[in-house]
Amino acid sequence: MKRIFMVFAIILAVSFLWSFSLKRPEVLSQSSYSLLNRYKNPYINSIFTDNILLTLAYIDEKVKKGDQISWEKVKAPNTSTLTLKPGHTFAFHDNILKKYQNQKVVTTNAHFISSEGFKSDGWLMGDGVCHLASFLFETAKKAGLKAEAPTRHDFAPIADIQKKDGVSIYYSPDNSHSSALQNLYITNNRSKPIAFVFNYDSTFMNIKIQELN
């Protein structure tokens, strides 16, 4: 009787572990980037970091256009998630190339402008968003996703990113072709939904791409 009970218990445990493994998302790729070395000047680095974190807040809709920005909340350690269904495309902003206009496209929900709370380091408004796009581009390629960055970030190096993976991001309200070229496009070419999970721990931006069940 005791042996039968033990066998039954083992079967239950194996069944539970098997069902749990089926539900657990498969990690396609993951990367980690320091937000303390975006720029040598500490003040400018802080602007880059703030703009990166604000973009994530827009992605997760923790902040929406017209909201009063609580920088204490934006800069606190947090996790943001973006989900992409099969065949859908993520674009960094909504000025997109014609070949993507008939597809379902999701964006960061941001345009990197002052009215949305983005900061300038005295040169460009929204400095830092190119770094976040480059992180995404590199991680998406490692995951085997279809990723296109028409304009490289050749005018300046990006720390922790190879030159070939630097992405230039620029939004223009006039829907110019130049603006659409300075965008990032990532298409879910898999049969299941995927999730981009961004975890910020006050030093590092950790990006994980998972396939959902």
Question: 136-148: per-residue pLDDT in tens?
Answer: 999 999 999 999 9
CA distance 128 to 48: 4
Q: What residue has token string 């572990």?
A: 17
**pLDDT band for position 77 (cuts 50, 70, 90):** very high
- Count of domains in the chain? 1
**Residue 12 forms part of a structural domain:** no
Please give the residue range of the domain that contains residue 154: 26-211
Residue entry with tokens 């098997």: 18
4 within domain boundaries = no
Structural domain contains residue 138:
yes
Cα of first residue to Cα of last residue in the chain, in angstroms, is: 39
Q: Is residue 8 part of a domain?
A: no
- Banded model confidence at residue 123, pLDDT cuts 50, 70, 90: confident
Is 44 among the domain residues?
A: yes
In a domain, 160, yes or no: yes
> Does pLDDT of 105 surpass 80?
yes
Contact 84, 194 (CB under 8 A): yes
pTM of the model: 0.88
Per-residue pLDDT, 20: 45
Looking at the domain assignment, is residue 21 inside a domain?
no
Residue 85 in domain: yes
